[in-house]
Structure 1
């Protein structure tokens, strides 16, 4: 298996189809998968928070490059990744797989209304999968009753739209109780799935301008997006250090 190191985070070098197959093959072999979909913001957070970096390194089974900045950074480091694999696209592939195989999916995260709308769309578009349970994202990780409810539902897939680092800490907390489940942090994907937030047009996705579309639609994201130039600056410094 090919791994690509980008500022200390080990990314799996698969395209979307290969990544999906890795997850489903692992499931068929009786192996669970803790999936981290990491963008430059997560990479930089991991650099600044050793406990979070350790969690990804020690507990995650697969890490996807969810951000064109990661792909560009890998290329600058001379270790190119095949393509960007977004959490949203991977989530849709897994929902299709769950539908075809009548698997159980637990949806946790986002506001209750958003969660409800996302699940309603799933039930419409993927009628053969089983909704094992739902919960909004407004809970404390110390609330054992929430964790117990997810485990009791015995899902095949857990989609955690809690934002980092909460979603990864949540998955780590239940991983031992659901050793065969596919568990993935999906950030704001329920907002898109529910229709609350529109995804960029395909041509903008293909041109790697999805970040710009989101910034125009949500100017308040500017502060968060400023991490990208900082990320690229650190990558350049790393390249220079290697020389």
Structure 2
């Protein structure tokens, strides 16, 4: 089984290593990959917004389980996923591979100072990766100049830290003109990449309690965290209706 359906979103049934291998294979064969890193919040949003659900289903090439909630939901449905494939870890692994292959990357999104710091980190830690463009995330999707700048830079990879659904809608437009590129929405990952925010300690990550660590650091996230129990209730209802 290469796909696992969780409330209508089709997740790729890979661990991190196999997910990366698949993306790399596609790129080396001239195929781009539009990656959606989907957590419970994204799944629930897709259930309520048909256009976004169609974009993921019809335009995304791969979908990763970005959160322990998705992994738990898949297990509850009797179709377990092997592990979390988090957006941040996926991004940094791709940056490392891109440096080895001397690839070109464009970083778009976050506040200007965060974006600048993320670029500096990439240039320091991945020296053979060329940053061909970068800009903050404060633009309207109707601004064709932003899209044109990304296309003109001819990147091999584009990481968009714009938040959903903006990042996926933007990357969908990029895909139309850069079909061979690796395109990925990364949410708040530039905050961590830049050093402006700290990720949970490894022990906390391994305990699958990263969400609690983030909530403790940012109590304002409580509203977003409320989506998780809603997601699990929806999974239970879906399981009963099978």
TM-score bin, normalised by smaller chain: over 0.9
1:203 corresponds to which residue?
Answer: 203
1:143 corresponds to which residue?
Answer: 143
TM norm structure 2: 0.99
2:221 corresponds to which residue?
Answer: 221
In 1, distance between residues paired with 2:100 and 2:241?
49
1:50 corresponds to which residue?
Answer: 50
Following superposition, the deviation at residue 199 of structure 1 comes to: 0.1
TM norm structure 1: 0.99
Question: Aligned-residue CA RMSD in angstroms?
Answer: 0.5
Gaps of at least 5 residues in structure 2 are: none
1:152 aligns with 2:156: no
In 1, distance between residues paired with 2:188 and 2:22?
24
In 1, distance between residues paired with 2:73 and 2:82?
12
In 2, distance between residues paired with 1:95 and 1:74?
29
> C-alpha deviations, 1:183-232, integer Å up to 9, x for none?
00000000000011100000000000000000000000000000000000
- Matched length: 242
Which structure 1 residue ranges, 4+ long, deviate > 6 Å from structure 2?
A: none
Classify the secondary structure of the residue corresponding to 1:176.
Answer: helix
1:101 corresponds to which residue?
Answer: 101
Gaps of at least 5 residues in structure 1 are: none
1:29 aligns with 2:29: yes
Following superposition, the deviation at residue 123 of structure 1 comes to: 0.6
In 2, distance between residues paired with 1:17 and 1:162?
26
In 2, distance between residues paired with 1:224 and 1:196?
21
In 2, distance between residues paired with 1:28 and 1:128?
18
